[in-house]
Amino acid sequence: DTEVTQTPKHLVMGMTNKKSLKCEQHMGHRAMYWYKQKAKKPPELMFVYSYEKLSINESVPSRFSPECPNSSLLNLHLHALQPEDSALYLCASSQELNTEAFFGQGTRLTVV
């Protein structure tokens, strides 16, 4: 299994809603990542987990809250988002930091 699975594929939420994005991998990878990608732009790093501990937070607003319940799962909890947060949210994993990273297909988020 060489897949990173993200759910849902699409999400529309209001600015007062609370929702969660989910990411799962069964490759035994110990590093997991959240990236945000706006249209026609490169992915931007948000968070990095290494061995289930938050390793990097790229000054992301607190309305985005990551969680790593175990080594296979990574969540991104969303609350009180703004329309400008609409983007493709990508999850990735790698065996360790600084090794080959595999990406999921992303969640297309629209905030209305």
Partner 1 sequence: GESVGLHLPTLSVQEGDNSIINCAYSNSASDYFIWYKQESGKGPQFIIDIRSNMDKRQGQRVTVLLNKTVKHLSLQIAATQPGDSAVYFCAENIGQAGTALIFGKGTTLSVSS
Number of residues that bind partner 1 (CB under 8 A): 25
Q: What does the alpha-carbon distance between residue 38 and residue 85 come to, in Å, rounded to a whole number?
A: 9
Q: Does 102 bind partner 1 (CB under 8 A)?
A: yes
Q: Using CA atoms, how far apart are residues 71 and 65, in angstroms rounded to an integer?
A: 17
76 in contact with partner 1 (CB under 8 A): no
Cis ω for the linkage preceding 42 (within 30 of 0): no
CB of 57 or CB of 82, closer to partner 1: 57
Task: Write out the residues near partner 1 by the rule CB under 8 A.
Answer: 4, 6, 31, 33, 41-45, 48, 55-56, 90, 92, 97-106, 108
